[in-house]
Structure 1
Amino acid sequence: MILAGGSARRLGGRDKPAITVGGIPLLDRVRAACAHATRVIVVGPEQQGGPVAALAAGLRQLDEAAGTAGAAVAAGPTGAGAGPGVGAVALLAADLPLLTAGALDALAGALPDHDGALYVDGTGRQQLLCGMWRIGALRERLAGADPDGMPLRRLVAGLRIAELTNQAEPWFDCDTPEQLAEAERRLRA
């Protein structure tokens, strides 16, 4: 599940998933990292020329009506978007230009002994929008809860979480012009 909403205030309100880094839109970079996924769900508003216009066949779009990750999880991978036989879901921001299939494989490899796996940055901060979760664990957390106002941090609180590190920083996101420039620099290197 790729979360492609948000106001992108620090980028002047631009359609962030459509911004190109290294000549490729941010959303397309994240989708490419999800090449092994059974299904890809993009959550975000329909915008002219934005994520919906760029969706390829086989992707599903959910409107970002509720505006929180908890609501997106309830509507997507734990609800109607799950599909049969899907046991885990990656929750990813749409602005992760350094994310790779290998980074997602590492998260999946940590799931057998945990409810979820995510990356932590150099300061030890959990990168919640660069993680993978067991759908059963998320469903249990959502049972009887109102997901509409539930932040992701509260949704996963108390779950057994594997914390991974990766020097390539697959969680590196682009919220500012400076971060976009840094992503360009890293991809050129």
Structure 2
Amino acid sequence: MTDYDAVVLAGGAARRLGGADKPGLSVGGRTLLDRVLGACADAGDTVVVGPRRPTARPVRWAREQPPGGGPLAALAAGLKGTEAALTLVLSADLPFLRADTVRALLAALADAGEGTDGVLLADPDGRDQPLVAAYRGEALRRELALLAAEHGSLAGLPLRLLTAELALGRLPHPTASFDCDTWEDVATARARIRDDGGVLEEWINAAKAELGIELDVDTAALLDLARDAAHGVARPAAPLTTFLVGYAAALRGGGEEAVAAATREAVALARRWADEAADGGKAAAEGPHAPEESE
């Protein structure tokens, strides 16, 4: 994994949302800001530029000068708290951004070589998304300093003045750059999160964040266990068995292997139970321990 720092821009007036605290809006049980922070959880340093808010993981805070001075002023403020060669720059309203997309951006920039200053996400219409991008920190600092010297201040300057001076690559993605600028966007995001195709993953991620769990869970194995327990024993056995697996894993010290081992043992038990039920007691009567007839 490429080392990087992250700068998340969480300011702005959110005028199209009536001045609501956009990064604090909930989508799928988590705030938009926490969803973005989850996607870049392995950053070395994460600086959030904007008013302080509760967050699910620790971050560093910064404010642009003057407050509300726009994206370039906010980016400059955030960069002061970073040192890594690569900087991930994100807006705080990206409900569908995932860690794998972040890794893909960073990998594309690392593979592009020193002649490329950054890699931007491109939306389905081919539009550049400079606030869903990985940059070389040195290039950002250089161009921001030149713009500040030329205009006297970065406040109010459009982001395109920065990106026009950088050598940039593009990474297409169908959903990761979807942002929530209006209440209609928020409603769309909330509906998509609950779509049957991804609702289970969304719920698990939200539950892990709420409970402070970083463990990667083998959901397929646990679902198989729940199915075996429900079908082979009784329907209420499914949630109770998965609870007992988690409890047993915790007693063994936690971690992925503890969960996997407890799951395997419970699956074996559920299958034995089901096999006995299928035999209808016949195996017990005719098994290897039944007495042999005398000659």
Q: TM-score interval w.r.t. the shorter chain? A: 0.7 to 0.9
Distance 1:23 1:12 in 2: 22
2:129 matches 1:127:
yes
**Residue in 2 aligned with 1:4?**
10
Cα distance, 1:56 vs structure 2: 5.4
2:168 matches 1:161:
yes
**Residue in 1 aligned with 2:77?**
75
Letter in 2 for 1:90: L
- The SS at the match of 2:93 is coil
| Number of residue-to-residue matches in the alignment | 178
Cα distance, 1:145 vs structure 2: 2.9
Native 8 Å contact 1:7 1:13 kept in 2: yes
Alignment deviations for residues 130-162 of structure 1 (CA, whole Å, 9 cap, x no partner):
111100111221233313343221112132211
Alignment deviations for residues 10-65 of structure 1 (CA, whole Å, 9 cap, x no partner):
11111111110011111000000011111111111x3xxxxx23045641111133
Percent identity between matched residues is 46
**Residue in 1 aligned with 2:107?**
109
- The SS at the match of 1:6 is coil
Distance 1:12 1:145 in 2: 31
Query: Kindly tell me: are residues 13 and 124 of structure 1, through their superposed partners in 2, closer, same or farther at Cα, counting changes over 3 Å?
Result: same
Greater RCO (CA < 8 Å, at least 6 residues apart): 1
**Residue in 1 aligned with 2:138?**
136
- The 5 A counterparts of 1:1-189 are 1-44=7-50, 46=51, 52-55=52-55, 58-66=58-66, 67-77=69-79, 80-83=80-83, 86-112=84-110, 113=112, 114-146=116-148, 147-167=154-174, 169-189=175-195
Native 8 Å contact 2:126 2:172 kept in 1: no
Distance 1:185 1:53 in 2: 25
The RMSD of aligned alpha carbons is 1.6
Native 8 Å contact 2:9 2:48 kept in 1: yes
Distance 2:24 2:34 in 1: 8
**Residue in 2 aligned with 1:49?**
none
Distance 1:174 1:70 in 2: 20
- The SS at the match of 1:65 is coil
Distance 1:53 1:72 in 2: 16
Distance 2:107 2:57 in 1: 28
Native 8 Å contact 1:39 1:58 kept in 2: no
Distance 1:73 1:94 in 2: 13
Distance 2:146 2:187 in 1: 44
| Greater radius of gyration (CA) | 2
The structure carrying a bigger helix percent of its residues is 2
Distance 1:8 1:120 in 2: 23
Q: Unpaired segments of 5 or more residues in structure 2?
A: 1-6, 149-153, 196-295
Query: Kindly tell me: are residues 90 and 10 of structure 1, through their superposed partners in 2, closer, same or farther at Cα, counting changes over 3 Å?
Result: same
Distance 1:35 1:70 in 2: 24
Native 8 Å contact 1:138 1:156 kept in 2: no
Q: Unpaired segments of 5 or more residues in structure 1?
A: 47-51
Distance 1:144 1:127 in 2: 22
